[in-house]
Amino acid sequence: MLTVKIFTRSEKLPELSQSNFFHSTELFHIIEKTPGQSPYMAVASNGSGKIVGHMLAVLRRRGSWFPPYIFTQGRIYGEGEYTEEVNKEEVFGVLLKSITRQFRRKLCFFIEMSDLSQKMFGYKHLRRNKYFPIHWQEIHNSLHSKSPEERLSGRMMKGITKSYRMGVETREAENEADVHAFYKMLSGFYRMKMRRLIPPESQFAELHNSENAKIFITIYKEKVIGGCACAYSEGNAYMWYLASKRKSHPLIHPDRMTIWKALRHAYEHNYAHMFFLDVGLPFRKNRFRDFILSFGGKPVARYRWFRFSVSWLNRLLSWWYRE
């Protein structure tokens, strides 16, 4: 018999395993400190009271003066973390049900779950809780079998070398001023992109101070023209946020230089893969996705799951995206 308890305050959290950064108490603390966001840690215990699994979900408030809108969104990265002796999908189903019920009570407009370890993981439980899947192409670069250079075309490598010769530098953010410059550029890049929510600057400051995250910035003539935020978990690297001023600097390719630095860093620190957490909407033609693939990555077919609180809208979208 499994029981689930949901924690919303860090001082109440039990001791949990910390293998997965996206479901860790560290990220819980970071979210808790972030204005407009609330963490929910669902913890499953067996009949003996032993913790057998946990899942971190985030409730995010989204709004804007122009265009005017406000709503809350639930966000979950991956399926959670579990002990080896349990049926992972069974515990996942119990945790998912509890989180979904909790977010419904909070009038959450929709919940989005992505980056599950396998395409079909938790399928029946997600369907049972009225989530619907959208086919999504994800990309990851393998770093354990070949170096990043071996996966690049000669033309791409020449372009990177040329940008370095022109004075472009990409490095880790070193202080608060670097983080602020990165955030200013990032928020400007996503200002008119309603689909992507950018957290407040304070969250990036916390990530900068974490041992499980890095912020990289690309500099040209003493100005930040590109950058990304990466997280590191279970031996893999994850590119979480990426932005650049590529349109105003087309000849030096700040987006390419930023990704290249992050890939090199992950390879040099023995991470097995670099996962790109968002390569855009799943349209047949997607320039950004093609750009990411030019680094030698592998496209993987996945599902991204959604659930809207408005019943008729959820049914309509489920029908529209039916398989």
More confident position, 193 or 113 = 113
Q: What is the value of pTM for the model shown?
A: 0.92
Specify the pLDDT at position 68.
61
Specify the pLDDT at position 64.
63
Q: Which two tokens stand for residue 207?
A: 């990530």
Specify the pLDDT at position 194.
62
> What is the three-class DSSP state of 218?
strand
Does residue 157 register a pLDDT over 90?
Answer: yes
CATH of 139-301, one of 3.40.47.10, 3.40.630.30, 3.90.79.10, 3.30.420.40: 3.40.630.30
Does residue 70 register a pLDDT over 90?
Answer: no
What is the DSSP secondary-structure string of 272-313?
A: SEEEES------S--HHHHHHHTTT-EEEEEEEEEEESSHHH
More confident position, 62 or 179 = 179
> What is the three-class DSSP state of 5?
strand
Does residue 66 register a pLDDT over 60?
Answer: no
Mean pLDDT, the chain, rounded, equals 93
Does residue 279 register a pLDDT over 80?
Answer: no
pLDDT tens figures, 227-254: 999 999 999 999 999 999 988 898 899 9
Residues 132, 315: Cα–Cα separation, whole Å: 9
Mean pLDDT of 108-121: 95
Q: Are 138 and 300 in contact (CB under 8 A)?
A: yes
User: One fold for both 3-129 and 139-301?
Assistant: yes
Name the residue among 82, 80, 79, 94 with its Cα closest to residue 125: 94
Mean pLDDT of 145-159: 92
Mean pLDDT of 299-311: 93
Domain ranges of the chain: 3-129, 139-301
Burial (Cβ within 10 Å: 0-12, 13-18, ≥19) of residue 32: middle
Specify the pLDDT at position 282.
66
Does residue 87 register a pLDDT over 90?
Answer: yes
pLDDT tens figures, 19-62: 999 999 999 999 999 999 999 999 999 999 999 999 999 999 98
Q: How confident is the model at residue 89 (pLDDT cuts 50, 70, 90)?
A: very high
Residues 225, 253: Cα–Cα separation, whole Å: 9
CATH homologous superfamily, domain 3-129: Gcn5-related N-acetyltransferase (GNAT) (3.40.630.30)
